[in-house]
């Protein structure tokens, strides 16, 4: 098969923890293709302390950071679309129009696998929730029209068991725990809902290299640990399988493309 991945997210850097490791694992395959759609430039985000934003604004800087991050990872998207919608206000964009924009992108690319945010947006961010809902709707609309691709829809997710260990680590190291009831705080799902568990230790250093290029967002993207500690801990990329339906008793897949041959 020709493994093709589409990542549909709200802001530059949203795709980092969700897809960088899988891209690093598969990008050497000669027929691999990556298409990325980002709804906003991230122009309304906070800026890491000590970083100066140029006259073109934060959105332009985050576009540059996104491009540098992909290069540092070792593979740049074969196609990258920017919708240019307002950061922080995706929930106010007419939903049908957002679905149409994503559907046009998916119909042109016909990817095997689509990754986007689930209903919790991973952090409860309204922009994450909006692009995830629109991508889900677009995926099914294009899939029902027939034609190739659109064989698997994934939502990045954090397993409850990992979340509990991470919360304990945060408390032990003087960091406040995440509060899943608050916006911008991580959420988790039952372990049984994890349908894809990618082992990422072999490419953790490349994941870190990509993450570091999102310098304006380093204060929210990277934990306060040294590089070696991060690499040792970056061992899994996990997703909920939304389509096709999956029984909770099925063992997790170990690749976003596994079983699609």
Name which of 113, 103, 123 is nearest 11 in CA terms. Answer: 123
- Cα separation, 169 vs 173, in Å, equals 6
Region class of 15: left (phi > 0), else alpha (psi between -120 and 50), else beta: alpha
How many domains in the chain? Answer: 1
Beta bridge partners of 178: none
pLDDT at site 126:
97
Residue 44 in domain: yes
Q: Higher model confidence: residue 230 or residue 21?
A: 21
pLDDT band at 132 (very low <50, low <70, confident <90, very high): very high
Query: Sheet harboring 194-199: ordered strands across?
Result: 79-85, 33-40, 4-9, 113-115, 152-156, 236-243, 194-199
Q: What is the pLDDT of residues 86-110, one digit of tens each?
A: 999 999 999 999 999 999 999 999 9
For residue 228, is it within any domain?
A: yes
Whether 153 is in a domain gets the answer yes
pLDDT band at 73; cut points 50, 70, 90: very high
Q: Which residues contact 159 (CB under 8 A, 6 or more apart)?
A: 188, 189, 190, 191, 194, 238
Task: Determine the pLDDT at residue 50.
Answer: 86
User: Is 261 a domain residue?
Assistant: no
Answer yes or no: is 126 within a domain.
yes
pLDDT given for residue 54 in this prediction: 87
pTM of the model: 0.96
Q: Kindly provide the residue ranges of all beta strands, DSSP E only, lying in 95-200, ordered along the sequence.
A: 113-115, 152-156, 194-199
Confidence class for position 11, pLDDT limits 50, 70, 90: very high
Query: Which domain, by its residues, includes 19?
Result: 4-243
Q: Say how many Å lie between the first and final Cα of the chain, rounded.
A: 6
Q: Is the pLDDT of residue 223 over 80?
A: no
Report if residue 181 sits inside a domain. Answer: yes
Q: Which pLDDT value is given to residue 251?
A: 94
User: What's 237's domain CATH number?
Assistant: 3.40.50.10320
In a domain, 234, yes or no: yes
Is 226 contained in some domain? Answer: yes
Give burial (CB, 10 Å; 0-12/13-18/19+) of 202: exposed
């Amino acid at each position: 098969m020709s493994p093709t991945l589409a990542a549909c997210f709200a802001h530059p850097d949203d795709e980092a923890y969700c897809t960088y490791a899988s891209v690093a694992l598969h990008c050497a395959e000669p027929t691999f293709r990556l298409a990325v759609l980002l709804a906003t430039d991230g122009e309304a985000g906070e800026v890491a302390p000590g970083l100066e934003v140029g006259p073109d604004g934060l959105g332009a800087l985050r576009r540059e950071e996104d491009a540098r991050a992909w290069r540092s990872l070792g593979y740049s998207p074969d196609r990258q679309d920017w919708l240019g919608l307002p950061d922080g206000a995706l929930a106010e964009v007419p939903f049908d129009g957002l679905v149409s924009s994503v559907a046009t992108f998916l119909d042109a690319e016909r990817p095997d696998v689509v990754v986007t945010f689930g209903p919790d947006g991973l952090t409860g961010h309204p922009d994450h929730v909006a692009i995830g809902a629109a991508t889900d709707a677009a995926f099914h609309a294009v899939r029902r029209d027939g034609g190739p691709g659109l064989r698997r829809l994934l939502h990045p997710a954090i397993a409850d068991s990992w979340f509990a260990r991470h919360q304990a680590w945060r408390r032990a190291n003087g960091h406040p725990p995440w509060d899943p009831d608050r916006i911008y705080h991580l959420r988790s799902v039952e372990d049984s809902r994890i349908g894809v568990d990618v082992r990422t230790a072999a490419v953790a250093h490349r994941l870190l290299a990509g993450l570091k290029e999102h310098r304006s967002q380093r204060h929210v993207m990277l934990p306060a640990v040294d590089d070696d500690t991060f690499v040792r801990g970056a061992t899994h990329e996990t997703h909920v399988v939304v389509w096709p339906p999956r029984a909770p008793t099925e063992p997790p897949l170990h690749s976003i493309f596994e079983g699609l041959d």
